[in-house]
Amino acid sequence: MSNQIGLGLHHLKTLNALRQTGSLVEAARMLHLTQSALSHQVKELESRIGMELFVRKSKPLRFTSAGLRLLTLADDLLPQIRLAEQDLLRLAGGESGRLHMAIECHSCFQWLMPTIDSYREHWPEVEMDFASGFNFAPLPALARAELDLVITSDPLLSPELVYIPLFDYEMLLAVSRRHPLAQKEWIAPTDLRQETLITYPVEHSRLAVFKDFMDKAGEEPAATRTAEMTLMMLQLVASQRGVCALPNWALAEYLDKSHIQCRPLGEQGIWCTLYAAIRAEHQEQPYIVDFLETAKETCFSRLDGIRPCKTNEVSYSLSTVL
């Protein structure tokens, strides 16, 4: 008779995910559950409350007043719980540690900076450092324990490394607004035959445009040139010096301002996953785990166009079995 409703934290998390994603399927993916689970869960909760939590029909998913009430509750509670858990982890498992990281793509600074900022508040003792640039291979360095974390979308499987997926994103081709390709709905590999493709200065085999798009069709762009920074690439694109493939979330903020448009690669689009690579021994380390958690939160709250990823973790043993 007590606790009529029996609200649980998972309910709040579900509602929250539901709001962020706008659909059961996506929310389920974000929570690493099945869509069925959520359906049951919500239904059960609704029956206990005695009214619906959201209107099912209608695409961007509208919440009822009851749903909204629970969402405000979630907004109050979840962050507090997050903080408390962080405090506990710090209290328990050594406050300090080393977190030397490297990113493979400069765009990542966009979310890495805020991530680090909020992380540092909670782990002031963790010694942080980064390296970036295309002139050295970070993953081997990670395996050798010269680094502790590498952000990459191009996993290099190795027994001592584990890849934690952060989010899925789409590779888009950025073209000038006046460029003929801007007219097309989506880009075919042959469309790039006469284009100059601007890329980061790394081997083509590690770039999704090549690996998953051009190479598959046996096509090549007319020319390639490299640039180290996203902004510079976009300047070149805007000046009609070429086209380039970039993550949708990195592009998002430039789309209105600049004279740039973007188009999917292929009819389905090319979707990639961004991973955080860490050494397997670090998998349970509170200060590492919390960094990853913070990173995901930051990304999902600041980046447009990204999606929660299906898989939960990629390690050597796991994926070599597949």
64-102 residues labelled b (16+ CB within 10 A) or e (exposed): eebbeebbeebeeeeeeeeeeebeebbeeeeeebebbbb
Name which of residues 48 to 107 contact DNA (CB under 7 A): 56-59, 61
Is residue 38 near its own copies by the rule CB under 8 A? no
- 145 touches 277 (CB < 8 A): no
Q: What's the closest the beta carbon of residue 46 comes to DNA, in angstroms?
A: 9
Say which entry of DNA, its own copies, none residue 298 contacts (CB below 5 to 8 A, set by partner kind): none
- 307 touches 168 (CB < 8 A): yes
Is residue 37 near DNA by the rule CB under 7 A? yes
Phi-psi region of 27 (alpha: psi -120 to 50; beta: other; left: phi over 0): alpha
Q: What's the closest the beta carbon of residue 59 comes to DNA, in angstroms?
A: 6
Name which of residues 133 to 162 contact its own copies (CB under 8 A): none
Is residue 27 near its own copies by the rule CB under 8 A? no
Is residue 10 near DNA by the rule CB under 7 A? yes
Residue 10 DSSP label:
H
Is residue 4 near DNA by the rule CB under 7 A? no
Say which entry of its own copies, DNA, none residue 35 contacts (CB below 5 to 8 A, set by partner kind): DNA
Choosing from 20, 43, 203, 310, the residue that interacts with DNA (CB under 7 A) is 43
Query: Coil, strand, or helix at residue 254?
Result: coil
Say which entry of DNA, its own copies, none residue 145 contacts (CB below 5 to 8 A, set by partner kind): none
Per-residue contact track with DNA, 242 to 261, x per CB under 7 A?
--------------------
Query: Coil, strand, or helix at residue 127?
Result: strand
Choosing from 58, 65, 135, 268, the residue that interacts with its own copies (CB under 8 A) is 65
200-238 residues labelled b (16+ CB within 10 A) or e (exposed): beeeeebbbbbbebbeeeeeebeebeebeebeebbebbb
Q: Which residue has the tokens 């670090």?
A: 282
Is residue 311 near DNA by the rule CB under 7 A? no
What's the rounded Cα separation, in Å, for the pair 275 and 228? 20
Q: What's the closest the beta carbon of residue 77 comes to its own copies, in angstroms?
A: 6
Chain residues binding its own copies by CB under 8 A are 1-5, 7-9, 32, 49-51, 65-66, 69-70, 72-73, 76-77, 80-81, 84-85, 87-89, 91-93, 164, 283, 286, 289-290, 292-293, 312-313
